[in-house]
Amino acid sequence: MRVLSGIQPTGRVHLGNYLGAIRGWVEDQYVNESFFTLVDLHAITVEQEPRELFSATLELFATLIGAGLDPNICTIFAQSQVNEHAALAWLLECTATFGELARMTQFKDKGHGSQNVRAGLFTYPVLMAADILLYKAERVPVGEDQKQHLELTRDIAIRFNRLYGQVFTVPTPAIPKVAARVMDLQNPSKKMSKSSSTTLGLIYISDGADEIKRKISKAVTDTDNKVAYDPIGKPGISNLLEIFAAISGRAPDSIAEDYASYGALKSDLTQLIVATLEPISKRTKDLLDDRGELGRIMAAGSGKAREIAADTLDSAKAAMGFVTATSTFK
Ligand code: AMP
Ligand code: TRP
């Protein structure tokens, strides 16, 4: 099966990104023909400082490889290096309607109804549809918040095929069940997220052992010191149990039975997180120290992606009636 997913190169990669998305991608590459894209064109739908976008892109690319994506097995590339994404997005924008895009809840949330939001934020989901449809992906692993964008992608594909002939594969979303949501360590009612107000609430992939220990020991819990899995009554401790569960593959309530105090749970969880993240950050750092090699891997990835993307774009253009380089004249 063909799989494609994307992640924005903004901010630093955290444990939620790893457990909720990247780790699943690493498994996917062994069973499916997989494409992973750093969606830098999506990042500029809100303001980005150019130097920060540049370094966040390199850092994310290195992190994905450090986390276990193998560029010899799957295709990893920066979206902006494959021009076909922007080109197909335009064709699709001319098939999608204003009403469809105005219904997207993420736009409504991020745009706050302001007249000053960038037009690209409004058309963002169509670019996402182009990312997916160019590679004829059948399965798209995404978080719950992206489900509506996937629905739109399906609608766009179905409509295009009906109007212009069969060009696109209609994709299905794949929402991970385990650790679909890692919560903020300081505010367990909120998702661990780049936009968190305090860095104490997030564990970054690049955090060292001391940092991880400090953040887990300061993680918010309640005061009764009874380890039990109860996401409503005990959200803080339940989040720690869920992280433990996601890493160890055990069930959170069975982990709870092993611990008589928060301290012991926190100490074992710290060790587990350190053991998971240490090798990843070591490989990431090594790659970041070898920019030449990183650049070569990126170029090879976009080269592989472009071959497929160019072919699909050409079919879509021909189907719509454009005279293309491969048109036959009768
Ligand atoms: P974002 O950081 O919001 O751009 O998300 C990038 C990817 O990581 C998406 O697939 C998200 O669903 C996933 N992700 C982000 N935050 C979390 C979280 N706290 N728990 C689980 N998955 C997450
Ligand atoms: N919109 C997605 C997010 O914010 C990122 C994304 C862009 C994506 N293009 C994609 C995800 C294609 C899956 C497939 O998380």
- pLDDT for 197: 74
Who's near 225: CB < 8 A, 6+ residues apart? Answer: 261, 262
Q: Whose CA is nearest to atom 11 of ligand 1?
A: 143
The CB of 8 under 6 Å from ligand 1? The reply is yes
Identity of residue 48: Q
Write down the pTM of the prediction. Answer: 0.93
Contact yes or no for 312/89 (Cβ under 8 A): no
Q: Are β-strands 75-78 and 139-141 bridged in parallel, bridged antiparallel, or unpaired?
A: unpaired
Kindly report the backbone phi and psi dihedral angles of residue 133, in degrees, each rounded to the nearest multiple of 5, phi listed first: -70, -30
Shortest-distance atom of ligand 1 to CA 183? 19
Query: Which residues participate in catalysis according to the annotation?
Result: 110, 191, 194
Pocket of ligand 2 (CB under 6 A): 4-6, 8, 39, 42, 128, 131-132, 140, 142, 146, 149
In CATH, what class is 199-286?
mainly alpha
- pLDDT for 196: 81
Query: Tens digit of pLDDT for each residue in 153-204?
Result: 999 999 999 999 999 999 998 987 655 589 999 999 999 998 887 899 999 9
Residue limits of CATH 3.40.50.620 in the chain: 2-179+290-320
Query: Which candidate, 197, 211, 204, places its Cα nearest to that of 182?
Result: 204
The CB of 43 under 6 Å from ligand 1? The reply is no
Give the right CATH number for 2-179+290-320 from 2.60.40.420, 3.40.50.620, 3.20.19.10, 3.30.2420.10.
Answer: 3.40.50.620
- pLDDT for 108: 86
Q: Whose CA is nearest to atom 6 of ligand 2?
A: 6
**Element at 7 (helix H, strand E):** strand 2-7
What beta strand segments (E) does 127-242 contain? 139-141, 172-174
At residue 52, the 3 state secondary structure works out as helix
Q: 181 burial class (0-12, 13-18, 19+ CB within 10 angstroms)?
A: middle
Please list the ranges in the chain whose pLDDT falls under 70.
Answer: 177-180, 330
- pLDDT for 178: 57
| Strand ranges across the sheet with 2-7 | 75-78, 33-38, 2-7, 139-141, 172-174
Query: Which candidate, 155, 252, 276, 269, places its Cα nearest to that of 204?
Result: 276
Concatenated DSSP letters of 219-275:
----SS------TTT-HHHHHHHHHHHHHH-S-HHHHHHT-SSHHHHHHHHHHHHHH
- pLDDT for 180: 58
From 4, 8, 17, give the residue whose CB has the most ligand 1 atoms within 8 Å, as the site to mutate. Answer: 17
Residue limits of CATH 1.10.240.10 in the chain: 199-286
